[in-house]
Amino acid sequence: MFVGYARTSTLDQKAGFEAQDRELRALGCERVFAEQVSSVDVAERSELANALEFIRAGDTLVVTKLDRLARSVRHLHDILGVLTTKGAHLKIIGLGIDTNTPTGKLMLTVLGGIAEFEREIMLERQREGIAKAKAAGKYKGRQPTARAKAADVIRLHRDGMGATAIAVQLGIGRASVYRVLSEAGS
């Protein structure tokens, strides 16, 4: 059985999400697990965990691209370990790789290493760019919205409003409300 996994990083990538789903189903995936979550949040990828739980011996997990599945070579090897233990395989459409063959396994390891290297180089360049922008006074970072509304948070709390209602009314996170109240000693 082919089991598909589709992922996009944000809700703004709906078209890419739908394209992955169509492609996976066209290739014969009887079940597609899909989620919209950043690859950074590996711990929060519940649908990937569900797909790996669902897979049985002889099944193949199918993804459109390697970066939709794993963030690092280590994460990729962890996923492959689960699949191998279950007697299942991995197929990456965009690369034409199928781990059902020794060559496919080798190519996946090599390409995974290159993808991780590219990501590290990109992050390094990003850090350098941010440092340069900070030095030039052009990068200030995000303004702390909750602290700017601290007086309103405290006033609403004193008026008897709960943290969730305060957060909704002021457009800030509930944790931020608790932080402001804690810092104020309320």
| Residues 143, 112: Cα–Cα separation, whole Å | 37
pLDDT at 49: 92
Judge whether 9 counts as a catalytic residue: yes
Lowest mean pLDDT of 3-17, 86-100, 140-154, name the range.
3-17
User: Is pLDDT at 184 greater than 90 in this prediction?
Assistant: no
Q: Looking at residue 185, what is its pLDDT? A: 80
CA distances from 145 to 149, 151, 173, 177 (A): 7, 12, 10, 11
Confidence of residue 13 (pLDDT cuts 50, 70, 90): low
3-state secondary structure of 6: strand
pLDDT of residue 14: 62
Q: What is the mean pLDDT of residues 18-29?
A: 89
Q: Which of 6-15, 31-40, 99-108, 117-126 has the lowest mean pLDDT?
A: 6-15
Q: Does the pLDDT of residue 142 top 80, yes or no? A: no
**pTM for this predicted structure:** 0.59
Q: What is the largest CA-CA distance in the chain?
A: 68
Structural domains present in the chain: 2-117 (3.40.50.1390), 145-184 (1.10.10)
122-141: pLDDT as tens digits:
999 999 999 999 899 888 77
Average pLDDT over residues 174-183: 89
| pLDDT value, residue 41 | 54
Among residues 9, 38, 176, 186, the one annotated as catalytic is 9
The pair of three-digit structure tokens given for residue 141, joined into one six-digit string = 């970072």
